């Protein structure tokens, strides 16, 4: 069977698995009282701005929502914190304002189409990047990711679009094709959620040569697109910086909807749980003065080693994929993220495929870490985990409970950390696989 036919079959599987998530996610979204609540936030924040009302002032987006026919008095819980606390930078409005000009029904439909299109294109590009002798295992990993994106389509999470754009941009830069499209995709991704795309962009900045040029061009375009939005917001909301800081502090505080600790009342576990490293460390002591410094120290040390290596290493396509495979899991750990952000793990599949094709023990370790990270950030496995652990009754004190909560109830950060350390090791010592293969 020719490779062209194999890739066509692979594309059919990608479309099929993406279709499962889309239709299942749409049905879940229709059944939820809060509806597409993750998109309602950016949508009504942008409508606030269009009406010259402060989108960062608590209560203003709720008033706009109510004016559009929403029932403020019977607001479902997941929607209330989403509409109350705007935590998006003003640069995000370059994407959300055009949707806010449309009626809600058409806006959220086009939003979901945008998310689906960007994710499916990103998945197909990752498959194009893998070696032919690792096509099968790569397709399994990619399809598993796509078949577990229900939450993105059910809630309208903005991460679906950002992740897709970031992966498309990385492929364009590395393959040196459609570079202008890549620059635009990365610029839009940075404008919406810089904590999703930032470290991927940083790799190209540190890599030097033409890649540094692409990174700087992306930064220039981000500023050019975002500056008018910042000026507009500053005119409508002169105190937006202080208000944004207050909103982030409120959401991240104890019992807030972004609280990484075990007391988070807003999806503390399951496919909406917080997956940064703080969420695991907080099980041992739920105090930001404890878990934040430890998380920043661990992630900062790993990122420092990765950055120095990237600056000193002569660029090659192999080293680039390994570098991205190391920094993607660290992206999820260093700051606030949820499992739907981790669909960025698609960007690690080419590195796994390279190691798989090289054979030996390393191929199985690469598959183990990639599969583990993908499974424990996937919607369906996390729902199953939540079902089996939600009725687990233990005293919330002592080392036993801390270990149970940090390891069994929230295993994702530890698996991502292990994956990041593994790929960082492969990036630092690229001949390890060949040495182990020769020794065996």
State yes or no: pLDDT of 268 exceeds 70: no
Neighbours of 408 (CB within 10 A): 12
What whole-number distance in Å separates Cα of residue 274 and Cα of residue 257?
9
What's the pLDDT at 288? Answer: 85
Domain-located, residue 130: no
Domain-located, residue 331: yes
Domain-located, residue 395: yes
Of the given ranges (2-6, 389-393, 428-432), which has the lowest mean pLDDT? 389-393
**Which domain, by its residues, includes 269?**
256-440
Average pLDDT over residues 300-307: 97
Domain-located, residue 190: no
What's the pLDDT at 131? Answer: 79
The DSSP letter of residue 409 is I
State yes or no: pLDDT of 295 exceeds 70: yes
Tens-place pLDDT, residues 107-154 = 999 999 999 999 999 999 999 998 778 889 999 999 999 999 999 998
Tens-place pLDDT, residues 322-332 = 999 999 999 99
Of the given ranges (71-75, 187-191, 377-381, 388-392), which has the lowest mean pLDDT? 71-75
Domain-located, residue 337: yes
Average pLDDT over residues 279-294: 86
pLDDT band at 73 (very low <50, low <70, confident <90, very high): very low
| Total of domains in the chain | 1
Nearest to 374 by CA among 126, 191, 34: 126
Domain-located, residue 63: no
Tens-place pLDDT, residues 9-61 = 888 999 999 999 999 988 887 777 666 778 988 999 999 999 999 999 988 88
Domain-located, residue 384: yes
Q: Which residue has the higher pLDDT, 256 or 424?
A: 424
Q: What angle do CA 102, 104, 109 make, to 5 degrees?
A: 90
State yes or no: pLDDT of 168 exceeds 90: yes
Residue 420: exposure state from Cβ atoms within 10 A (0-12, 13-18, ≥19): buried
Nearest to 418 by CA among 359, 378, 387, 373: 373
Domain-located, residue 210: no
What whole-number distance in Å separates Cα of residue 404 and Cα of residue 394?
9
CA distances from 45 to 51, 57, 104 (A): 10, 10, 13
Interhelix angle 93-100/37-50, nearest 10 degrees: 90
């Amino acid at each position: 069977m020719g490779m062209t036919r194999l890739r066509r079959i692979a594309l059919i599987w990608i479309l099929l698995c993406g279709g499962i998530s889309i239709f299942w996610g749409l049905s879940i979204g229709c059944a939820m009282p809060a509806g597409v609540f993750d998109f309602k936030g950016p949508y009504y924040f942008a409508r606030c701005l269009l009406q010259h009302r402060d989108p960062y002032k608590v209560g203003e987006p709720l008033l706009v929502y109510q004016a559009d026919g929403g029932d403020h008095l019977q607001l479902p819980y997941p929607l209330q914190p989403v509409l109350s606390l705007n935590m998006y930078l003003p640069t995000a409005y370059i994407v959300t304002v055009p949707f806010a000009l449309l009626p809600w029904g058409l806006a959220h439909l086009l939003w979901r189409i945008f998310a689906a299109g960007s994710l499916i294109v990103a998945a197909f590009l990752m498959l194009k990047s893998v070696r032919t002798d690792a096509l099968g295992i790569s397709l399994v990993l990619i399809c598993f990711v796509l078949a577990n994106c229900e939450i993105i389509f059910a809630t309208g999470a903005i991460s679906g679009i950002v992740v897709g754009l970031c992966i498309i941009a990385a492929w364009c830069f590395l393959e040196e094709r459609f570079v202008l499209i890549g620059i635009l995709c990365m610029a839009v991704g940075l404008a919406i959620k810089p904590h999703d795309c930032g470290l991927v962009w940083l790799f190209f900045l540190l890599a030097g040569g033409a890649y540094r040029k692409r990174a700087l061009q992306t930064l220039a375009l981000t500023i050019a697109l975002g500056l008018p939005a910042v000026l507009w917001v500053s005119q409508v909301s002169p105190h937006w910086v202080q208000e944004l800081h207050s909103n982030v502090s409120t959401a991240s505080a104890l019992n807030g909807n972004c609280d990484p600790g075990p007391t988070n009342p807003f999806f503390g576990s399951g496919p909406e749980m917080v997956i940064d490293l703080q969420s695991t460390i907080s099980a041992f002591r739920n105090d930001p003065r404890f878990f934040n410094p430890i998380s920043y120290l661990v992630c900062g040390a790993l990122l420092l080693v990765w950055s120095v290596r990237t600056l000193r290493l002569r660029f090659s396509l192999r080293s680039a994929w390994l570098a991205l495979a190391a920094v993607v899991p660290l992206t999820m750990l260093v700051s606030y993220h949820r499992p739907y952000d981790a669909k960025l793990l698609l960007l690690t599949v080419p590195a796994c495929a390279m190691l798989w094709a090289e054979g030996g023990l390393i191929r199985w370790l690469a598959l183990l870490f990639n599969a583990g990270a993908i499974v424990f950030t996937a919607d369906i496995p996390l729902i199953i985990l939540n079902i089996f652990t939600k009725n687990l009754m233990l005293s919330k004190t002592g080392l036993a409970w801390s270990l149970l909560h940090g390891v069994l109830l929230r295993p994702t950060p530890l698996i991502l950390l292990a994956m990041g350390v593994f790929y960082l090791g492969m990036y630092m010592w690229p001949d390890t696989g060949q040495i182990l293969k020769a020794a065996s």
